Amino acid sequence: MNAPRRLLPEPTDRLVFREMTENDLDAMADMLGDPEVMTFFPAPKTRDESAEWITRMQQRYREHGHGLWVIETHDGDFVGDCGLTWQSVNDTPVLEVGYHVRRAMQRQGYATEAARACVELVAREFAPTLLTAIIHPANDPSRRVAENLGMTHIDDDRAHPWIVRTVMGMQVAPR
């Protein structure tokens, strides 16, 4: 099988996207190891788990052409990650936009700005399609980002018997 074309969202007013590399381990481990950033995940990630996260993203780039990308300012300051991954909702595959912003950079509109650039990429490359954001029911900031994109609550994922996740979504039309 041919390797898929590697995709990347367009730069925004304040942000650029690029693929994650091993050189991002310090910044990724700081962010994914921060208990506040990881409030709605099972636990903060260890440095080894953050390294695995980077490896997994690199595998996604190779297999699908996309994944979560590093987002940084035009001056190269690390902001977080944002991008597109295949997920499963009630055992059906869906495209998801995901985002993490390091604590010092939160509440400045970065997640919304980055996620909008991902929606544009979806419109160019995948539309018409459903785009989702799968969110812990108590994660208000994440839900606000999804609402800023125009998403509404479309489903609840019950694939895990003891975890319910809110599925926000919208249909993206070709541009």
Ligand X SMILES: CC(C)(COP(=O)(O)OP(=O)(O)OC[C@H]1O[C@@H](n2cnc3c(N)ncnc32)[C@H](O)[C@@H]1OP(=O)(O)O)[C@@H](O)C(=O)NCCC(=O)NCCS
Among 44, 65, 141, 150, binds ligand X (CB under 6 A): 141
**Stretch of 18-26, 44-52, 84-92, 137-145 lying at the interface with ligand X (CB under 6 A):** 137-145
**Interatomic CA distance for residues 11 and 26, integer angstroms:** 23
Q: Exactly one of 112, 125, 127, 153 binds ligand X (CB under 6 A); which one?
A: 112
Instruction: Supply the DSSP symbol for 33.
Output: T
Residues 13-52 that bind ligand X (CB under 6 A): 37, 40
Residues in the chain: 175
Torsion of CA 59, 48, 31, 169, to 10 degrees: 40
- Site size with ligand X, rule: CB under 6 A: 20
Compute CA 149 distance to the chain's CA centroid, rounded to the nearest angstrom. Answer: 13
Q: Does 12 participate in binding ligand X (rule CB under 6 A)?
A: no
Which residue of 111, 130, 170, 172 would you call a contact of ligand X, by CB under 6 A?
A: 111
Cα–Cα–Cα angle for 53, 130, 106, rounded to 5 degrees: 50
What phi, psi does 24 have (nearest 5°)? -90, 5
> Least distance from C-beta 42 to ligand X, angstroms?
12
Decide if residue 166 touches ligand X (CB under 6 A). Answer: no
Q: Which stretch binds ligand X (CB under 6 A): 17-25, 43-51, 138-146, 156-164?
A: 138-146
